[in-house]
Amino acid sequence: MSEFVYVTEEGLQKMKEDLDLLRNERPAIARMIAEARDKGDLSENAEYSAAKEAQGMLEMKIARLEDQVIRSRIIDGSRINTISVQILNKVRIRNRTSGVTMEYQLVPETEANLKEGKIAATSPIAQGIMGKKVGDVVQVKVPAGVIPFEIVEISI
């Protein structure tokens, strides 16, 4: 068994809901395969090939999600503090070069959503600020180069 997947309780619930949705797609794909099979010669039946491919992709997604659910470990939010940056914290950082201030919440990789201001704890910025305190200045290596960030605020 490979490494654990750390998630919030809400994140695990969302994965389980997504898994149920995917499992509910199985009958529709089976019907598509049956309909295509009824049309005759399978060796030259594009509908049959497409339906079988869709079935394979669906089963792959289900297997991947089942694996993630099995390996999931819920992060205990009651142990989160604001002494230093850690997963589930909201962190306001200032780019020392441009002066731009950004706020992110550090979340498990499966829950990252940049539009919501949630970045994966495994991202370069999160890794660079993890364990740091308010007032610390860190040099974060990103694809565009090295950016100096100052930790302005840590909250829950």
**Domains of the chain, first to last:** 5-74 (1.10.287.180), 77-155 (3.10.50.30)
The pair of three-digit structure tokens given for residue 89, joined into one six-digit string: 């914290």
- pLDDT grade for 1, boundaries at 50, 70 and 90: very low
Is 68 in contact with 60 (CB distance < 8 Å)? no
pTM of structure: 0.67
Question: How many Å apart are CA 150 and CA 107, to the nearest integer?
Answer: 20
Reply yes or no on whether the pLDDT at 38 is more than 90. Answer: no
Q: What is the mean pLDDT of the chain?
A: 89
Question: What is the reported pLDDT for 10?
Answer: 85
pLDDT band for position 37 (50/70/90)? confident
pLDDT above 90 covers a percentage of the chain that reads 58
Query: Pairing relation of β-strands 101-107 and 90-95?
Result: antiparallel
For residue 122, give the amino acid letter. T
pLDDT for 94? 95
